[in-house]
């Protein structure tokens, strides 16, 4: 006789690859290319885990079908923005099935960029530039007591794998010194990182959330990340990865009221000047020109940044 209890459960389909094309009469076409994960939870699924009873199980195959069905039947503007499409899928599941209490939808996008020839954008051809990957994660839940009419929603979005490098105007000096510290002060160094940036949206309702400028926020988060790293004129911003991270996040919070907090994970991928003194060559500190990138280990600098409590919207 089994005595264990289910503490939590969620099941569904992962890596549902769906591509939606929007064709305009003048030949201009848009593409959205997604990998979708859809997971359902609810008390009534417990017996499928504990008793071999599948009666309440919405097959993961049906969940996959629903994603394609919605990609076809929803108006294009509810499919082409990943946050909006994820919200549509999640709220559809929660509303359609009375025994589904929460639905979690994650979308990873494939960033096709429109081809450009002599500054002219091509109407229907795209290429993959191999840059960052945009993703979003939506949770829709029935409020308690459960009611299909009232849903709570939360959205996290972000991007990862934005690889950047700068060859000067980054430093790391005046850090804690003790018998375990061997790193010399680095008043100027190569800085390289692979940015993971994610942000949380604030909204009263699904309807209010639909108004958020998701695409502009994604573009702004990326722009602020690059601009803070490359162009911020204040020397202290470049004193460490920590300070640069803080300024990146602060800029996003200042630019976008719909963003509640911003999380960054910035690996500090070390590029150490190679010591060539044995060959009579100066290549350290101010003489550094030849570097050895170190795959492992890397630094790993993270923080979540938000507005101060009273300054929140
Ligand atoms: O920007 C940096 N922050 C650190 O905390 C750190 N630690 C380290 O060894 N190098 C660096 N660089």
Give the range of the structural domain holding residue 247, as residue numbers without chain letter: 158-313
The residue from 91, 116, 149 where one domain ends is 149
Closest CA to 238 of 154, 164, 171: 171
Cα(82)–Cα(61) distance, rounded to whole angstroms? 21
Mutation probe of ligand 1 site: the residue of 188, 241, 300 with most atoms within 8 A of C-beta: 241
All residue ranges of the chain with pLDDT < 50 are 311
| Pair 99, 35 in one domain | yes
- 226 by DSSP, 3-state: which? helix
Which member of 64, 104, 142, 270 is catalytic?
Answer: 270
Closest CA to 247 of 229, 268, 235: 229
Does 210 fall in a domain?
A: yes
Q: Is 104 a catalytic residue?
A: no
Mutation probe of ligand 1 site: the residue of 164, 170, 172, 229 with most atoms within 8 A of C-beta: 172
Ligand 1 site, CB within 6 A: 172, 183, 240-242, 268, 299
Tokens 């060539």 belong to 276
- What pLDDT score was predicted for residue 102? 96
Cα(239)–Cα(173) distance, rounded to whole angstroms? 7
Q: How far is the CA of 239 from the centre of ligand 1 (A)?
A: 9
Mutation probe of ligand 1 site: the residue of 299, 300, 301, 303 with most atoms within 8 A of C-beta: 299
CA 166 to chain centre: 23
| Pair 252, 234 in one domain | yes
Does 1 fall in a domain?
A: no
| Pair 170, 304 in one domain | yes
The residue from 114, 149, 184 where one domain ends is 149
| Pair 129, 254 in one domain | no
Q: Whose CA is nearest to atom 8 of ligand 1?
A: 299
| Pair 94, 166 in one domain | no
Binding residues for O2: 60, 268
- What total number of domains does the chain contain? 2
Closest CA to 148 of 188, 224, 206: 206
Q: Whose CA is nearest to atom 11 of ligand 1?
A: 172
* DSSP-H helix ranges across 74-213: 82-96, 206-210
| Verdict on whether the full-model pTM lies above 0.90 | no
Q: Is 60 a catalytic residue?
A: yes
- Number of the ligand 1 atom closest to the C-alpha atom of 241: 1
- What pLDDT score was predicted for residue 209? 75
Q: Are strands 291-293 and 191-201 parallel, antiparallel or unpaired?
A: unpaired
Q: How far is the CA of 313 from the centre of ligand 1 (A)?
A: 34
- What pLDDT score was predicted for residue 244? 97
- What pLDDT score was predicted for residue 17? 96
| Pair 223, 280 in one domain | yes
| Pair 184, 298 in one domain | yes
- Number of the ligand 1 atom closest to the C-alpha atom of 244: 1
pLDDT, tens digit, 9 for 90 and up, residues 251-271: 999 999 999 999 999 999 999
72, 18 contact by CB (below 8 A): no
Q: How far is the CA of 7 from the centre of ligand 1 (A)?
A: 40
Q: Is 278 a catalytic residue?
A: no
Cα(302)–Cα(278) distance, rounded to whole angstroms? 38
Which member of 7, 13, 143, 152 is catalytic?
Answer: 13
Does 2 fall in a domain?
A: no
Does 245 fall in a domain?
A: yes
| Pair 129, 173 in one domain | no
| Pair 124, 176 in one domain | no
The alpha carbons of the chain give a radius of gyration, in whole angstroms, of 24
CATH number at residue 242: 3.10.270.10
* DSSP-H helix ranges across 37-140: 46-50, 60-73, 82-96
| Pair 236, 307 in one domain | yes
Does 117 fall in a domain?
A: yes
Cα(169)–Cα(191) distance, rounded to whole angstroms? 9
| Pair 292, 188 in one domain | yes
| Pair 42, 186 in one domain | no
Does 21 fall in a domain?
A: yes
- 92 by DSSP, 3-state: which? helix
Residue 279: is it exposed, middle or buried by C-beta count within 10 angstroms (0-12/13-18/19+)?
Answer: exposed
Binding residues for 5-hydroxyisourate: 60-61, 172, 189, 241-242, 268
Does 241 fall in a domain?
A: yes
Burial 94-117 (b: 16+ CB within 10 A, else e): beebeebbbbbbbbbbeebeeeee
The residue from 96, 121, 149 where one domain ends is 149
């Amino acid at each position: 006789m089994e005595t264990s209890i289910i503490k939590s459960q969620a099941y569904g389909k992962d890596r549902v690859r769906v591509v939606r094309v929007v064709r305009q009469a003048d030949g201009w076409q848009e593409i959205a290319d997604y990998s979708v994960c859809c997971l359902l939870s609810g008390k009534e699924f417990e017996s499928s885990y504990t008793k071999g009873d599948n009666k309440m199980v919405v097959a993961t195959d049906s969940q996959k079908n629903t994603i394609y069905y919605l990609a076809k039947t929803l108006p294009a503007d509810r499919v082409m923005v990943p946050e909006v499409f994820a919200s549509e899928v999640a709220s559809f599941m929660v509303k359609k099935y009375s025994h589904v209490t929460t639905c979690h939808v994650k979308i990873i996008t494939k960033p096709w960029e429109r081809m450009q020839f002599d500054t002219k954008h091509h109407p229907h051809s795209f290429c993959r530039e191999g840059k960052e990957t945009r993703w979003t994660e939506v949770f829709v839940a029935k409020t308690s007591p459960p009611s299909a009419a009232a849903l709570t929603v939360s959205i996290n979005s972000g991007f990862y794998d934005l690889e950047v490098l700068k060859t000067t105007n980054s430093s790391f000096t005046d850090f804690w010194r003790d018998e375990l510290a061997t790193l010399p002060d680095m008043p100027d160094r190569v800085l390289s990182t692979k940015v993971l940036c994610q942000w949380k949206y604030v909204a009263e309702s699904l309807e209010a959330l639909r108004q958020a400028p998701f695409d502009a926020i994604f573009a702004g988060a990326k722009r602020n990340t690059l601009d803070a790293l490359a162009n911020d004129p204040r020397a202290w911003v470049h004193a460490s990865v920590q300070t640069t991270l803080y300024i990146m996040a602060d800029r996003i919070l200042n630019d976008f009221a719909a963003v509640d907090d911003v999380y960054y994970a910035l690996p500090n991928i070390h590029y150490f000047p190679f010591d060539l003194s044995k060959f009579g060559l100066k290549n350290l500190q101010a003489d550094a020109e030849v570097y050895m990138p170190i795959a492992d280990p890397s630094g790993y600098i993270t923080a979540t940044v938000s507005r101060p409590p009273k300054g929140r919207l």
